[in-house]
Chain A
Amino acid sequence: MQRPWKSALKVITATSAAAALMLASACGGDDAAEGNATGEVAGPIDVWMGDPIGAAQQPTIVQLAKDYETAHPGTKVNLRFLGADAHKTYLTSIAGGTVPCVALIGNTWSPEFAGLQALEPIAQDPASMKGVYTQSMIDSTVLDGVSYAVPYDTGVRALIYRKDLFDKAGLAAPKTWDEVLSSATKVQQDNPGVNGFGIIGGNQWYWLPMIWNWGGEIATQEGGAWKAKVDSPEAVAAFTFYADLLTKHKLAPEGAATWQGADASKAFALGQIGMMVGGSWDLKTILAQNPGMEQQLATAPLPAGPGGNNDTFAGGSNLAIFKGCDNKATARSFVDFLMKTENLVPVTTKIGLLPATVDALEKERTSGSFSTPLLRAYAEQAPNTRSIPPVATWGKVEGTGAIVNAMQAIMNGQKTPEAAMQELASQIDAAIGQQ
């Protein structure tokens, strides 16, 4: 090579060396300490948290992580907060082998991730967890007789309504869905600018349980195989009733067909909603945005449907340790740390959920944040809960948005309720029917 090339080569080597250095130093920050296999509590762990940890709870978690690092020198907790599409993020990371060590996951995802061989077993015999955690939450961690997660928080939905407007109209809290319709209509007529009922078309958990209230089922097990029941007349009637609240009775703004819980809470806080189905966390959101509303609102257990029950879904999240974690000792120690009552309660209180350990739960009910009149309805609702089919492949139903799509197709008149529910039934069968 001729000499003049050298100077150019120098430039090129220098720039690429600089680039390489940049990359190396940037990665080094995270990778320098590569976990450890010795079982020693040291080194970094990745911790991911999705819904329901929102903006309001993040500082609490960040502080807890710092406390943990102080208490265990040599450890490092790398936190990541996921958005509403956390489910997708977890699946991609499982497929790619880039899982975190510890994750707070939706309770309906636990069997699914366990079925993908992604989670580390927590207890070979779930009966050993009895009495430590609430039973419905233990159930949500189990697949084929093994528990794969630690129950963290739990919550139910109830009715949140504007007591001031109801009192003015001489109405009491509705006990049935028919009363919901009549009182919402009255409140809306009497108060211009107020919508009778906060429809939440974009999130299935607010209205899927209505199938139970109408006496139907989501899916039943027949000889070992799951069969969808959402095309039953009861289920069709339940979905039609909810869609009619929006389309026929116009009790919410048109856009509510795509609303999430947060949209309805926002509108409620702005004084534009007379009544909504909402979790205790939604109540928290409303009061955080408009503290003055505490005097104006009240809560009640959910209304019953023609089926004679007001059952709802037991929501919540579990802490899981991933199999792919290269620092399981630290991961376990961090989970234990988070589950201590004094570390757990501040977080669940901030979210507005109940802690899932029996010990903390009792404290919250008797003397804690759930002893107030406003939250009592949630405690009353708590026994009336059911769970969704505990199948590993349920995640496909949730992940593809099939249930939300069915409701929205009914709401915008794209399909008849019967056709939409038949299609949904075949989609659910395709996802969970094979076992």
Chain B
Amino acid sequence: MTRRLIVYPAMVLICAASLFPFFWMIVTSLKPDTEIFTVSPQFIPHEPILSRYTELFSGAIPRQFLNSLLVAGATTLITGLIALLAGYALARFNVPMKRYLLIVILSIQMLPQTVLVIPLFVVLRNTDLLGTYQGLVLSHLALTVGLATYMLRSFFMDIPVSLEESAMVDGASRMKAVRLVVFPLVWPGLAASSIYGFITSWNELMFSATYMQQSSRETLPVALQQFFSSYYSDWGGVMAASVIFTIPVVVFFLLVQKRLMQGMVAGAVKG
């Protein structure tokens, strides 16, 4: 009984702390200025307005949205592919110097982005990739492949080798065994690492702000930061832009949260 007295109020508190900023962002974006700039806050807008959203959608936002989708989508796809192959190799083969390779893969995750931002700028400039989608996707791969490979390796290792071996003994080639037996089991892992890659790429600011200079190739984080720096006293408009930027990730996340949790749990337990 006492346990419940602690657990339930704590859960309410946790939910409130997690959700309030979302709530406040949406509410502010719907309030007319007279209701935003008040000393005691108004929690429910009296005369909600949608004009901020219609204005934003008639501007550059749809294009920036597509840019982000394209970059994050390509990053996710390529990350998944690379991690799938490498994860399988690292789980199933006695690769020489595997120990060191794993350490390298993990330490990629530990790299400060500032170490990469300058030389990648130089590299992309020299290869004429500065300001292109390909260039940004390449730079995002540096942030995603490490953990994605590690996650997928954990998944492959969870699948008993005996399953594969028995299939192979039965005459199936390794590829067939992998395709029929292993892939179906590794899907949750692929989903988890994909979401991780997608969110990382979708949210990334430093590389995007530095590399994507061409008109109409801005991604959303850059656009939002720029919008904020010019109109930041227009809090209603800024909040509306933030909502537009946040909703896709949240929806995507809610759709796949079950798989993501499985992936994270698997990753965490193996450490």
Which A residues are within 8 Å of any B CB, using their own CB? 2-5, 7-8, 12, 15-16, 19, 22-23, 26-27, 30, 46-48, 51, 54-55, 58, 78-85, 89, 92-93, 95-100, 260, 262-263, 265-266, 270, 289
Does A15 contact B130, Cβ atoms closer than 8 Å?
no
Interface size of B by Cβ–Cβ distance < 8 Å? 46
B33 on the interface (CB 8 Å rule)? yes
Contact check: which of A55, A84, A99, A289 meets B229 at CB < 8 Å? A84
Does A89 contact B173, Cβ atoms closer than 8 Å?
no
Q: Chain A contact residues: over half helix, strand or loop, or mixed?
A: helix
Does B216 contact A22, Cβ atoms closer than 8 Å?
no
A-B contact pairs, 27 of them (CB 8 A): A4-B176, A8-B178, A16-B81, A19-B78, A22-B74, A26-B70, A26-B133, A27-B134, A48-B215, A55-B234, A58-B59, A78-B214, A78-B216, A79-B215, A80-B60, A80-B214, A82-B226, A82-B230, A83-B226, A92-B210, A96-B213, A98-B130, A98-B131, A99-B213, A262-B233, A262-B234, A289-B33
Q: Please name all residues of chain A whose beta carbon is closer than 8 Å to the beta carbon of B230 when the two chains form the complex.
A: 51, 54-55, 81-84
Contact check: which of B77, B81, B225, B233 meets A266 at CB < 8 Å? B233
Q: Please name all residues of chain A whose beta carbon is closer than 8 Å to the beta carbon of B78 when the two chains form the complex.
A: 16, 19
Does A7 contact B226, Cβ atoms closer than 8 Å?
no
Contact check: which of A85, A98, A99, A266 meets B226 at CB < 8 Å? A85
CB closest chain-A residue, reference B126: A97
Q: Chain B contact residues: over half helix, strand or loop, or mixed?
A: helix
CA distance A55 to B238 in the complex (A): 12
Which B residues are within 8 Å of any A CB, using their own CB? 33, 37, 55, 59-60, 66, 70, 73-74, 77-78, 81, 121, 124-125, 130-134, 137, 172-173, 175-176, 178-179, 210-211, 213-218, 225-234, 237
CB closest chain-A residue, reference B39: A193
In the A-B complex, the 6 residue pairs with the smallest Cβ-Cβ separation, listed nearest first, are A83-B226, A80-B215, A78-B215, A83-B229, A83-B230, A262-B233
Does A262 contact B175, Cβ atoms closer than 8 Å?
no
Q: Please name all residues of chain B whose beta carbon is closer than 8 Å to the beta carbon of A51 when the two chains form the complex.
A: 230
Contact check: which of A27, A81, A92 meets B213 at CB < 8 Å? A92
Does B81 contact A15, Cβ atoms closer than 8 Å?
yes
CA distance A54 to B55 in the complex (A): 13
